[in-house]
Amino acid sequence: MKNCTKSAKIGLAMSEDLRQAIERLHHCQASFLEDALVIEKFGEKSVWQGVVSVFGIKGHPQADKCYAWSSPIEGSTKRRYYAVLHVPPIDSPEKAVRASIVHDHRSENL
């Protein structure tokens, strides 16, 4: 990795962290496919913006893909990892993010 820039090394480390999170959470093998930029809006307001990594997965009974990303935990140096399976109605990185936003909102209001 001598020729990699610092941001490329960070990207590789983040991809590896996401892969490990998928494998730990969903008990399957994951391999990186691509990154997708997602901007989720509510009306005119941007409510989430970031990169979602798409992974191919093997050994899961319901899905062959998973969408993954992380976000910082407020007041901590740790990150929260999201790993959303590609199962109906989730069929894109955008829908994975939207589903996680709805889930987090509902969890906060219990």
Give the pLDDT confidence of 43-94 residue by residue, as tens digits.
Answer: 899 989 999 999 999 999 999 999 999 999 999 999 999 999 999 999 999 9
* SS3 readout for the chain: CCCCCHHHHHHHHHHHHHHHHHHHHHCCEEEEEEEEEEEEEECCEEEEEEEEEEEEEECCCCCCEEEEEEEECCCCCCEEEEEEECCCCCCCHHHHHHHHHHHHHHHHCC
* pLDDT: which is higher, 8 or 67: 67
- Output the pTM of the full model: 0.86
Q: Where are the domains of the chain?
A: 6-108
Give the pLDDT confidence of 26-47 residue by residue, as tens digits.
Answer: 999 999 999 999 999 988 999 8
**Per-residue CA distances from 27 to 17, 33, 81, 96 (Å):** 15, 18, 15, 19
Residues in the chain, overall count: 110
What is the predicted pLDDT for the residue at 25? 96
